[in-house]
Amino acid sequence: MSAALLLRLTVEDFLYREAALLDDWKLKDWLALFSPNARYEVAPTGDPEAGTLSSAESLFLVADDRERLEQRVIRLQKPQAHAEYPHSRVRHIYSNVRILRDTEAQIEVNSNFVTFRTKRGITATYMGWHRYLLSRHSDSFLIDLKRTVLDLDGLVPQGKVSLLL
């Protein structure tokens, strides 16, 4: 097996593990996959250049540094996070995983995704792509960046991004 193929499979394995933690709402374990300076972002919908925008200059849906991401995880585990109480059922499907760049320091990865969320008899579908920056950590990875770009003009009919995509 080529080194490139092995890397992709190893990365896929890591991403599938990440998706499974989200599906199971094991958010503390999910948070542990992120590095101390990590960012988690969801770009604005309806902008054809959403994939290249910066959250410092544009209004994103989510632009968490590590501290706000921790606060997000804490909040989502409270009954007072009403939109997610009781937790919706979510299913994260990742596909088309590609290694875009592989340096000593970081691996840049793209993945298409579809995430289904069901609550009170209504299923919402979120689709788009994730960009990951991964750094090597012991025999696995840590996420330095997870940036999500939705293929949506707006959150119609989804209404909100109360879940983690």
Partner 1 sequence: MAAIVQTPLSSRSRYLWVDRERGRFLVHRSAYTSPEIFEEERRRILHRSWIVLAHESEVPNKGDFVVRQVVDRELIFNRDVDGKVNAFFNSCRHRGAAICREPRGNRTRFVCPYHGWAYKSSGELFNQHSTFGYGERFNEGGFYDLTRVARLDKRGGFYFVNFDPNAISLDDYLQDAGPMLDAIADQSGVGMEVVRGCHEYEIKANYKLICENSYDGYHLDITHSSFVDYMRTMVRGIPVSEMNIRGVAKSLGNGHACFELEIPTGRPVAQWLPVWGEEARLEIEAKKKELESRLGKAKADRISVTNRNMVIFPNSIINDQQTVLLRTVTPTAHNRMIIRAWSIGPKDEGPVLRRIRNEGALSFLGPGGFATPDDVEMLELCQRGFENAEVEWNDISKGFRPEENTLRDYDEHYDNELQMRAYWFRWNEIMSAPESRG
CA distance 62 to 123: 22
Site string for partner 1, 90-129 (x = CB under 8 A): ----------------------------------------
Respond yes or no on whether the N-terminal peptide bond of residue 157 is cis (omega within 30° of 0).
yes
The answer to whether residue 160 forms part of the interface with partner 1 (CB under 8 A) is yes
H or E element in which residue 137 lies: strand 122-137
User: Least distance from C-beta 117 to partner 1, angstroms?
Assistant: 12
SS3 (DSSP) at 102: strand
The answer to whether residue 137 forms part of the interface with partner 1 (CB under 8 A) is no
> What value does the CA radius of gyration of the chain take, rounded to a whole number of Å?
16
The answer to whether residue 81 forms part of the interface with partner 1 (CB under 8 A) is yes
Judged by CB under 8 A, which of 59, 95, 100, 137 binds partner 1? 59
User: Least distance from C-beta 141 to partner 1, angstroms?
Assistant: 25
Q: Which of 39, 46, 29 is nearest to 68 (CA)?
A: 39
CA distance 77 to 101: 35
Binding site for partner 1 (CB under 8 A): 42, 44-47, 53, 55-63, 67-68, 71-72, 74-75, 78, 80-84, 153-162
